Amino acid sequence: MENERIWNASMKDLAKGYTENEETYECIACGRQFEKGLIYPVEELLYEAEKFVVLHIAKEHGSAFDYLIQQDKQITGLSEIQSKLLGLFYEGKSDKEAQEEMGMGSTSTIRNHRFVLKEKERQARVFLTLMELLRAQEKGTDSGRLGAARARTLEGRHRSTATEQEKVLAKYFPQGVQGPLKNFSMKEKQKLVVLHELAKRFEQGKQYTEKEVNELLGQAFEDYAILRRYLIDYGFMARQEDGSAYWLTELAEGQEEKSLNRRDELKLQAKEIKIEAGVFQIRNLENGKVFIDSKPNLKSMNGHEFSLDMGSFINKNLQADWKKYGKDAFVFEVLEVLKPKDGEAKIYDPKDALKKLEEKWLEAKQPYGDQGYNE
């Protein structure tokens, strides 16, 4: 539920540390709710709900920053070192003070980390912009029905006969389809049947607040948040970006055969990914040394990172520096993608061409001795 509060909050709400609902203010960190209209006494002072939730966050969690920076990489996308450095920067530490407190490298190391973090910020802004444009496109192509815009037809194995559907509903709704859901631990094919039935508890063409959605789903299952998320993810329901309104899509009416199977969609996307051969380098941000290598599929160069993390990389010098400086001191960079020249199609040997491309970059970079790790 804690992660759910983070995922559902807007950037503005995350920065404040709380969300505003129709009747309450809710702390994102702990989920405690403060009812609007009530006065909360603290010693000899009285606070209305919104000011009190701000006071609560400061007293119990330090700040929204303090709470978010303590989350693991799955939430923040930051490594442990990056999280610690951001915390020090938030405290106003200089590069030298941060270097001394972290006990790592030199001030140039800290500057490199600052650069990486700023680059991460720029990339995040572009990504968020792309997502905003995607949502705008979905609204335009499907009259604002975001869930239906993602819908796809499932393969035959996910379709259920009427008899199969009756068995699933009887098993998971032992008191009838208007009663409570027994549990939500089931196979995907069964989930689709259950979600389609749950969607019938809402009226087509009517908009619901999040509170109303939670109340209706809460009558079926204690963890209403997971039901709400699956109804959205599988395209049975759509919502406004800020969560202010929810509604059924055409999919819930049965005008589509089935909803989006994300696993199948990812498989299709993987098949469409173009495999590119090329030359890349692993660059040490601390000392500028590089290791140059080539791969028939550049996507697989992350295998080097895995070997280095496991301490089994074939290049002992690079392995030693990886252990000394840590993985955050290294970056993987593509130097050149292999492309056949005009007129080479009939006699083109990709293995030989890749070898020559690697030799070209070894000659250009000279990654030996003090300049690199190649031997």
CA 367 to centroid of chain Cα atoms: 36
Domain assignment present for residue 117? The answer is: no
What confidence tier does 252 reach under pLDDT thresholds 50, 70, 90?
low
How far is the C-alpha of 199 from the C-alpha of 61, rounded, in Å? Answer: 38
Domain end point (choices 229, 246, 268): 268
Check pLDDT > 50 for residue 125. Answer: yes
Residue 260: predicted pLDDT = 41
Tokens of 139: 């609204």
Helix-strand-coil split of the chain, %, nearest 5:
55, 15, 35
Q: Which of 206, 240, 268 is the last residue of a domain?
A: 268
- For residue 139, the model assigns a pLDDT of 52
Number of independent structural domains in the chain? 3
What's the gap between Cα 112 and its chain centre? 25
Residue 91 lies in a domain: no
The answer to whether position 215 is within a domain reads: yes
Rounded to an integer, the average pLDDT of 160-175 is 88
Percent of the chain with pLDDT over 70: 84
Determine the structural domain holding residue 149 and report its residue range: 142-268
Chain centre to alpha carbon of residue 119: 18
Per the DSSP assignment, residues forming a β-bridge with 238 are 247
pLDDT band at 368 (very low <50, low <70, confident <90, very high): very high
